[in-house]
Each structure stands twice: as C-alpha cells, then as structure tokens.
A = this chain, B = another copy of it.
C-alpha cells in the first residue's frame, strides 16, 4: 500500500498544509502524532474489565492488561488470587535498576508466616510459547524473530516468533510471573514488571501474563533495593500494596477509563511504518528498521 495515498485519505487537511508549506518537496508521510490525532473511535478498544488489573499503591494506580491468550492458566490463577484479596497488604519486594520491579509475599519463604494461596494452584507449568495457528487473531500479523524488522503486536502485546512458535516478548512494561529453578515453580503469586532495557533472554524462560497500560512511573521511580538483585532487605522499607482488584470487580466510578490502540487496523500498520522510517523534521537518518520493543501500543484516556 502506498503510505502517502493512505495518509492522504486520512489526513487531507493536514497534508494539504504540509504540501503548501513545502511545494518544492514531496509530502512526507505522517508521524505518530498526526496519525493518532486523525484516529477514529474505531481505532481504539476498551480493555476487557475481566482481564484488567488495578494495582493500587499509596502513590496511585498501575493498570495491567492480562494476556489470557498466551498464559491462560497463570491468568486464571492470578484472578483467583486477586478475587480472594491475596495481594492486599503484601509488598513490593524488589526494585532492580534497569531490570524489574517485583511484588508478592515478604514471608513467602516462611512456612509459618506465609499467606495461604487459598483456592489458587501452588504450581503451574510454564506457559512460554504457543503454536502459531490460523485461529489465533494475531496469526495473520507479519513476524520476524527476536530482533524483527516488523512486529507482531496483536492483540495489544509485543509478540516474537520463530518457526511455528510465537511468544510474548520481555519488553518494557511487560508483566511476568516469577518462578524458582524448575519450570513448574511459578503460580502468579509473585509478579514482576520490566523497568529497563528489554531482557529478551527471559523470553521463553518465564511466563509473561500481561502489560502495564498506565502508571509505569509509579514503579520506575521507586527507590532501588539495596540487597543483591535489587531485593529490599528491610520489610519496613518495602512499598505496601494497598490492593489488587479486577476492573470488573471495581465500581464503575472507581474504574480507570483507558483505551488501547487496536493493532489489527490499517492505522496500526501505518503507525509501525511511521516509527520504522522516522520522517519528522528532527530526524536526519530514518533508520529503516524498528525493534519489536520500540513499537508503541498507545494508550489514551477514554474521550
């Protein structure tokens, strides 16, 4: 598809201005700001309240969209924990520079003090990758492997693939379920968020369960833990978790009104193309490539 023609269809007024201002040069394709400004209501979706978590801290809320398509058992277990109030009053245990923020039960290693998992499973097999399938809504996307030129970000998550397998990628803001040394030692009771350069070596080694939609700054600005691996050694200095709730269980007036850009639209294709070949005035060298974790999946306040 000729990107300029598509842009002309979407942004006639804007591009007319550009054409008038630069009659001597061809019109440039629109950048992300112009594309989002020209988006319509149909380009956005409301995250499913049954698959949306609110992590509430004293500093404010972190909104997480779960990925049941990729990690159905972990997501179900996390929802069981959340609905039992398991996380309420637990703590952020680890803040490691350029790596992760992690939370859970500070007493998890103490059989007497640790909180019961209730009806939730204690052990779950890792959910690391899926077979590519024409039935999956993201199967039609164009993939490349780890350092792909074009991403498969559908539906709303960064997806990497190789051969017949696809998997969620450890990009900034992705949420995973910590585990011990064995593959079945995680259960979703200890969760982490990537806060630095994507640690892609974790891909297919640990189960990713979702993505932070808003509130990353409430995690990234936390004081770094002083013990090895960024763990916080004194319980009294840990940031408490007020609660984790499903949006579906939250009264309408207390919900966060957010929308996510759909990734199965022509607009998203244009957005990726605009980010792959940067044409804003500031850019001298348009690169021509984009790495999976640099592909934006925009979130906005519901208008």
Interfacial residues, chain A to chain B (CB-CB below 8 A): 97-98, 126, 128, 146-147, 171-173, 180-181, 183, 196-201, 203-205, 216-217, 220-224, 275, 278, 281-285, 287, 289-291, 293-294
Contacts and interface: CB of A to CB of B under 8 A. Distances in A.
B146 A201 contact: no
A170 to B, nearest CB: 10
Which of A147, A197, A205 gathers most chain B CB within 10 Å?
Answer: A197
Which of A201, A216, A281, A283 gathers most chain B CB within 10 Å?
Answer: A201
Nearest to A224: B217
Nearest to A179: B282
A173 B217 CA distance: 18
A205 B97 CA distance: 27
Given A199-B294, A201-B275, A205-B285, A223 B221 contact: yes
Contacts of A294: 197-201
A301 to B, nearest CB: 15
A221 B220 CA distance: 6
B203 A146 contact: no
A181 B282 CA distance: 4
